[in-house]
Amino acid sequence: MIAALALVILAALLVFLGTRVPGLAAPTDGALQRLVIGALAGMVLFHLLATVLDLTGLGWSVLKLGAGLLILLALFLRFGAKTPEGERRRLPSDLGWGDETALLAVVVFSLVALTLWVTTPDFVFHWGLKGHRYFLARGVDYAYLARSWGWAIHPDYPQLLPELYAASALAIGRFDPPLLMLWSAFFFALLLAAAREILRTAEPFVRQAGIALLAVVLAAFAVRHQMAGGADWLPALALIAAIPALSRPPDPAADLQIGVAAAFAAAAKVEGVVLAGLLVLAQLARRPAAGSWFAPGRFFRLGLLPALVILPWGLQVRRYHLFTVLSSGGLSWERAKIAGPAVVDAVNSPGWHGFSWVLLLLPLLALRRRSRPLGFVLAGQLAFYLWIYLVAAFDTEYYVAMSFPRLLFHLVPAMLVGLVPHLTWEPPCRPSTITVEGRMGGSL
């Protein structure tokens, strides 16, 4: 019980820290969006702190990590802008049966995850192993990753998730796999909170049915496909957390939110680096609500955090020769003939219960100006996955079957949420959103 409490305190500290980042919250953001994007910012800052401690050779301890986080928090509280009193209480007051169903789905998934039966094999093969190893080494153990047999643990993968596991173990005092599964439940809850925020302007039935649908679909897949303990929650969360900012005309807060989501995705997985690039590109391609299109401030807010995440990662991968080269055989028609049916089989994967076919409706996102940026990012990420299958010189059928159902998990939540408002949509009621409606979208 005390161990679980330590984990909760760590997560709460990261959320609290992130929500205090100056300039991150827009006046139009509800409490849930602030919480979600704040949580992502807190985890990105934690990752940067852990990286600094690594690069300086100081290593990790509860004291060093705790002091670092508290110093950052003190700085934000001292120098950050104060949140106006009236904007602190925009928690949803219209909770209904859909929210209760979603909460129940999170609880069900959490309880099943605690048994470790739905723990992803990748927790054993690399995410959990790395977390345990870093806990013992008090830092990212590059010598361990660089062993000639280290290819088996994907040594070039970004480190956020193992870092969270190691920090949890430091806080608890031991490596405790069942408790670490609660991180997946936390990501699931954040994902649903982000979706709830996006659906807030939909009519009541669509709002409630939409959040309930997303929750049960993801929980069913996560249980069937053993998603507990894995990192695929993180790109899915980054994408869905970026939707509010992608759906309104770019303003400084939206740019920073996209920067946070992109940095979070890049810190999570290699494919998250691609997602980060797409998010930044989608935002940069749109004309801002005010000010110059290519003002230095925009680049700073959009690019600083992703750069701070990607550059040290790239440098360490290069320094320790960790990059496991993708065995590329070039585009091949023969491979495409195998990949096509394999992709269809993967979309039909039993865990999805047919819901992954929702991606066929991706062109619908182009119909509305506000959903075009999301459509661009989803299409780009999907194209990247398919392209990899067409060039990777592996057993294509096996490769697609082993990875694509799981990679769909990055895309389906955002697609479902992006689509539900197309069923019915009430016009946003906030004047600030309406007045600039005509300028959103830019070149996308």
Binding site for another protein (CB under 8 A): 101, 105, 108, 112, 115-119, 121, 124-125, 128-129, 132-133, 136, 144, 147-149, 152-153, 175, 177, 205-206, 209-210, 212-213, 216-217, 219-220, 223-224, 351, 353-355, 420, 423-424
For residue 392, give the 3-state DSSP assignment.
strand
Q: What is the 3-state secondary structure (H, E, C) of 114-169?
A: HCCCCECHHHHHHHHHHHHHHHHHCCCCHHHHCCCCHHHHCCCCCCHHHHHHHHHH
Give the shortest CB-228-to-another protein separation in angstroms: 10
> At residue 328, what are phi and psi to the nearest 5 degrees?
-95, 130
For another protein, which is the closer residue by CB, 3 or 104? 104
139: left (phi over 0), alpha (psi -120 to 50) or beta: left
**37 close to 24: Cβ distance less than 8 angstroms:** yes
Give the shortest CB-405-to-another protein separation in angstroms: 14
For residue 328, give the 3-state DSSP assignment.
strand
CA angle 243, 247, 250 (to 5 degrees): 110
For residue 34, give the 3-state DSSP assignment.
helix
Give the shortest CB-407-to-another protein separation in angstroms: 19
For another protein, which is the closer residue by CB, 252 or 418? 418
CA angle 18, 19, 24 (to 5 degrees): 95
For another protein, which is the closer residue by CB, 66 or 178? 178
C-alpha to C-alpha distance for 168 and 181, rounded to whole angstroms: 11
Task: Write out the DSSP string of 235-256.
Answer: HHHHHHHHHHHHTS---HHHHH
Give the shortest CB-200-to-another protein separation in angstroms: 17
For another protein, which is the closer residue by CB, 11 or 213? 213
C-alpha to C-alpha distance for 347 and 374, rounded to whole angstroms: 21
* Orientation of helix 31-55 relative to helix 233-246, angle to 10°: 130
Residue 138 CB neighbour total at 10 angstroms: 16
For another protein, which is the closer residue by CB, 17 or 211? 211
Q: By C-alpha distance, which of 160, 153, 142, 148 is closest to 317?
A: 142
Give the shortest CB-420-to-another protein separation in angstroms: 7
C-alpha to C-alpha distance for 358 and 91, rounded to whole angstroms: 30
For another protein, which is the closer residue by CB, 60 or 376? 60
Give the shortest CB-237-to-another protein separation in angstroms: 20
Give the shortest CB-148-to-another protein separation in angstroms: 4
Give the shortest CB-125-to-another protein separation in angstroms: 5
For another protein, which is the closer residue by CB, 144 or 299? 144
For another protein, which is the closer residue by CB, 43 or 222? 222
Give the shortest CB-135-to-another protein separation in angstroms: 8
For another protein, which is the closer residue by CB, 116 or 336? 116
The answer for residues whose C-beta is within 8 angstroms of residue 72's C-beta and 6 or more apart is: 17, 45, 49
Give the shortest CB-355-to-another protein separation in angstroms: 7
For another protein, which is the closer residue by CB, 27 or 350? 350
